[in-house]
Amino acid sequence: MNILRCGPMLALLGIVTCVDAIAQAENEARTVIGPSNVDLADGATALRVGNAEDGVRLTQRGLQSATNDRDRVAGYSNLCAGFIMLGQLDAALDSCNRALEIDADHWRSYSNRALVHVKAKRYREAEQDIVTGQALNPNSRTLRVVKAMLLDATDPVSPTIIIDDRRQAVADDAEE
C-alpha cells in the first residue's frame, strides 16, 4: 500500500476511505493466473503424455465451454491429434477441418491434417497441407517430420550398403 499517494485525500476523506480505495484498486489490478479453459488445458496435457482417451474426452468437454476462436481452434486441432492417436482418421479429419474453418492460417492444423492424409494414403492432399503449413511456419520441426513420413511412404530410400552374409554362413557350415 502506498499511503503517500493518498496524501490530499487523507485530509478530506479520512484514512479509512483512502485505505479502502487502495484495496479496491489492488483487487481490480489482480490477474487470474492459469488457463481460461481448464478442460482444454488438461486435455492438451493428457495428449502430450500419450493418454489419447482422456485427452479427447477432456478436449471435447472443453470445446463445449470455449468462449473464443483461439480456444476453439486449439481445441479442434488438439482433438484432431487425439483422434489420430486413437486411429480414428475420419473424426481426426473432421476436427482438423473445423479448426481450419475458424482459422485458415493455423499451421498446426495443417500439420495434423497432413498426418491424417499420410496415414490414409492420400499423399497428394498431404503434400498440399505440408506446403501450406510450411508457408505459414517454415521452421516447423513437426511439419518436417510429417514431410519425412510422406517421403518414406511415397519415395522410400533404399539402402546403399548391402551386407552379404553368405560367405560367413558357408564357413560356419564347413566347421560343423
Are residues 74 and 45 in contact, defined by beta-carbon separation less than 8 angstroms?
A: no
- Residues above pLDDT 90, as percent of the chain: 66
Higher pLDDT, 89 or 20: 89
pLDDT tens digits along 18-34: 334 444 544 454 455 66
pLDDT tens digits along 129-172: 999 999 999 999 999 999 999 999 998 887 677 777 776 655 55
Domains of the chain, with CATH numbers? 1-30 (no CATH), 38-154 (1.25.40.10)
pTM beyond cutoff 0.85: no
Instruction: Output b/e per residue, 54-81; b: 16+ Cβ within 10 A.
Output: ebbbbbbbbbeebeeeebbbbbbbbbbb
Q: Is residue 10 scored above 80 in pLDDT?
A: no
End-to-end CA distance of the chain: 92
* Region of residue 34 (left: phi > 0; alpha: psi -120 to 50; beta: else): left
pLDDT tens digits along 71-83: 999 999 999 999 9
**To 10 degrees, what angle do helices 52-64 and 69-85 make?**
160
